[in-house]
Amino acid sequence: LPPPSQSSSNNADKIRVFDAGCGLGAGLMWFEQHEPKWDLVGHTISEEQYKWIVEDLPKHNFVARLRSYDEPLGGSDDGDGRNTNGDNDSPSLFNAVYSIEAAVHSPDLQRSLTAWSDALLPGGVIVIVDDFLSLGVSRDDPDIDLFARSWIANAVHTTVEISNWAEKMGMMLVRDRDLGSEFQIIKRNYRNKAPVLRDEQGRAHQGWLGSKVRQKLMVEGKISY
C-alpha cells in the first residue's frame, strides 16, 4: 500500500475498484450491492467465466473483461482517474485493487504486483486474499511442489517476500491478516483433518487433487490463508 502521507479521495462516488481475477463475478456483485456508487471493473482469462458473467449473471453495472489481470485497463479518463467509457482501452487508475484466490496463479506475481501498483491512485490500496507459503517452509518441499503443480499455484510465496517487493515499489504493508486462524477455516471447513491423497471412488482429476493437497498443507501448517 502507498505511504499514508498520500491520502486517497474521500468522495465515495468516485471510488474505483479493480478485481484482479474476478472469476464468476461474485466479489464484484457483492460490492455492487453494498457500495452501489463505486465503479467496478474485473478481469478474467476464462472464456467460460466471462460468458457466464455477460449472459447468465443477473443484471449488473460492473464491467467484466476477458483479459489478463496484469492489464488493469479501464476506459477514457476524465482527469482524476475515473473511468468514463468502459469500451475504451486507455489506462485508468483505481482507488483499490483486490485479488481473491487468483494471485497464486500468476506466472510472475512480482510483475502482477507492479502492474497493480502502477494502476493505483495516490493513497490507493492492494488487497490480496490467497494461499501463502508459511515462514520456515521451503519452496522445494515435495508437498509444496505437488500443491503448485496440482493447483496451478505458480506463485507460492511468503507474505514477507511480497512485502519486500512492495517496499521496492514505494508501497508499505498495512496489515498481514491470518484469515485461516481468524475464521477457524481448518476447524470449520476441514474438521482439523488432513485428507488421504487417494480417492477410493477413483477420482484423480487435477481439481480434486489440488484441493486435497491444499487442505493437507493447511492442516499441517505449511501454507496459510
Secondary structure letter of residue 196 according to DSSP = P
Distances (CA, A) of 106 to 54, 99, 111, 117, 208: 24, 11, 9, 15, 20
Instruction: Please give the model's pTM, rounded to 2 decimal places.
Output: 0.85
Average pLDDT, the chain: 87
Confidence band (pLDDT; 50, 70, 90) for 72?
confident
pLDDT digits (tens, 9 = 90+) for 14-59: 799 999 999 999 999 999 999 999 999 999 999 999 999 999 999 9
Amino acid at 181: S
How far is Cα 127 from Cα 72, in angstroms, rounded to an integer?
15
How far is Cα 120 from Cα 16, in angstroms, rounded to an integer?
10
